[in-house]
Structure 1
Amino acid sequence: MTSTAPTPIRTRKLGHLVLLVRDLEASIRFYTEVMGLRVSDRIADQMAFLRAGEDHHDLALARLPDDAPDRDDLPRYTRPGLEHFSYYVDSVEEMRRAVDVARSLGVTIERGIGQHGPGGNWFLVFKDPDGNNVEIYTDMDQIPQDADHRPQTWDRNLESFDRHRLAHFVVKPPAAVLASKESKKD
């Protein structure tokens, strides 16, 4: 019996990182005042999207809950550290093909396909063998260096997570996302 492995996902470049932080405002000050990044947008008091170049964001900061314990349990997302890193792909079609690649190789799809509010980028997130979240994304908003950009503050709701309200998801969304969707049905 001969089996052929699928063609790997065609990633083009390392994209952005999302860090979990305890103090969002202190982290924003560090990355703007020390590292020289600019704020592109925010989601309420929960997230900030920062950029060094023209991509809407190359770093996002997500605030941990105030009651998050201080222990080494990153897979449960309750301590500071990496939530995910991403790779750029050329199109949503390549992202759809990536679903087939992942499934054929037994790779867990964590969330997606969706399109974020801030940044407008389409996303699909997998688990690597160590449980790290690896995202592929495409079609991120661009902000020219000389643009007079004013950051927008998005509400913390389903549309800031996925503009299409989970219509393109290929897996069951996380419980917190489903709860957000249910609260909007009223």
Structure 2
Amino acid sequence: MSYTVPAQTRIGHVHLKVSDLQRSLDFYCGLLGFELMVKYGDQAAFISAGGYHHHIGLNTWHSKGMPPAPENAPGLYHTAILYPTRKDLAAIYKRLTDAKVPFTGFSDHGVSEALYLNDPDQNGVELYWDKPRDQWPKDENGQLTMYTHRLNLSNLLQELES
């Protein structure tokens, strides 16, 4: 029997193994602006946007002091963090650029615009916003046709002028 997950289902949080808890907190809270909800010594922390119990869990239970996971092995490709507006995405882009954080890519996917970078443990991070559904590209049959084009960063930054 076929089953379809309910449309209101959401991915609730991601829990990352990190090698240095404070270094990860400096990145996710200090740089990206997440709020620390609870910390368990130097072993684990739960962080949030807007006071939710946690959107991201960080722990060193099996990874303290360890090197990053191999790039060419199964595992998490990236954590995607959805911003509510294009202006919010522009603001975090400017903040990270001003802090000289290296990016790994910038994409317009037709349905969304995204910035890509790595956290201190080389876990991929996607920062993005979704375009309104009525702007999503579709073919002549009404099927979604996502793509990957280079994101126009100067156009994105114009959002901060309004």
Determine which structure has greater relative contact order: mean sequence separation of CA pairs < 8 Å that are 6+ residues apart, divided by chain length. Answer: 1
Normalising by structure 2, report the TM-score: 0.42
